[in-house]
Amino acid sequence: MSEALLKIEEAERIFGGGRSLFGRPLPAVHAVRGVSIQVHKGETLGIVGESGCGKSTLARMLVGLDQPTGGVITYNGEDISALARAGGKQLARKIQYVFQDPLASLNPRKTIRAILEAPLVHLLGMDRAAREARLEELMQAVNLAPEFLERYPHEFSGGQAQRIGIARALAADPELIVLDEPVSALDVSVQAQVLNILDDLKQRFNLTYLFISHDLSVVESVSDRVAVLYFGKLAEVGPARSVFSTPRHPYTHLLLESAPAPGRKPTAVEDSETELPDPYNPPPGCAFHARCPRGSDLCVQSEPLLEPSSIDGDHFAACHHPHGRAS
């Protein structure tokens, strides 16, 4: 493992808030509540979490589509917010993004050529000949026929459209690609195609991935390290193998037990009546406390910090009563 490419320190994003005209405080949603994590060069960091855990908000902040309301995110030592305010071109040449909905991320009135040329023109300032060569390279990289360049997005299936989305992200030759649920809108057979292409590209172009998904098995199959987000905070971070084989946080446990898998009946699932806490009004202490089978009074009183496991120093969990290796 090499040096940290991307450093997220205490990143926080609050939507709304502030005060109304008459000084009344407005409701605020705490989407990301202080997340610290690093992405190392050449790795794939998987981020798992259920809807409302803040994973997409976090992803958007990494590419400058959104700004944190607190904390710092740096890329190679440079503050991302500052780069984004300066126009974001420099940032966009380093970090790119692949969107969840492949068709919605392609302008229906532009040809694939126009879509793929945009980063080449605006980010790299390539001339016509150079663009032509690069386009061919890109289409070949994502395994699409070059004649598709003249077509419009609606003529493509979901899987093809997502490969175009990936080609666009590749166009500017970035170092890091943020993949926001890149396969959740796709059928399983297509999903496998796209995952395999992503894997090839990573080897070929020396990429670093930040892979966001709600699907545990997909994340497990692509990630070197995994971070589990719950309610805007990290519940657990560590090497993928270690997190999936010996989860320490009770929430990770619950996730793994709930995930349906072919040939397996779900084991004990949590009883009903339990829900996500109110994002307008986060509870004190551990956010998972109300659903946690291991919860104690301590969990209500103080918020657990992310601490390394005694056995594996790279495996962190934010829990007062983590599962030991034995469980």
Tokens found for residue 267 = 């084991």
> Which residue number, 251 or 316, has a Cβ lying nearer to another protein?
251
Q: Hey, which residues between 33 and 52 contact another protein (CB under 8 A)?
A: 50-51
The answer to the question of residue 82 lying near another protein (CB under 8 A) is no
Pairing of strands 28-40, 233-239: unpaired
146-175 mask for another protein (x: CB under 8 A)? -----xx-xx-x-------x--xx-xx---
Query: Which CB, 152 or 306, lies closer to another protein?
Result: 152
DSSP assignment of 151-163, as one string? S-GGGS-HHHHHH
- 1-20 binders of another protein (CB under 8 A): none
Residues 90-149 that bind another protein (CB under 8 A): 92-93, 96-97, 99-101, 104-110, 115, 118-119, 121-123
State which H helix or E strand residue 89 sits in.
Answer: helix 89-94
269 binds another protein, rule: CB under 8 A:
yes
Q: Give the count of beta carbons closer than 10 Å to the beta carbon of residue 115.
A: 20
Helix or strand run (H / E) with residue 210:
strand 208-213
User: Scanning residues 49 to 68, which ones bind another protein (CB under 8 A)?
Assistant: 50-51, 60, 63, 65
- State in angstroms the smallest separation of the CB of 72 from another protein: 21
Q: How far apart are CA 51 and CA 13, in angstroms?
A: 16
261 binds another protein (CB under 8 A): yes
Task: Please say which residue, 268 or 326, places its beta carbon nearer to another protein.
Answer: 268
**Beta carbons within 8 Å of 47's beta carbon, 6+ residues apart:** 55, 58, 59, 210, 211, 212, 213, 219, 226, 227, 229
Residue 18 tokens, joined: 């502030």
Query: Which one of 4, 28, 256, 300 is in contact with another protein (CB under 8 A)?
Result: 256
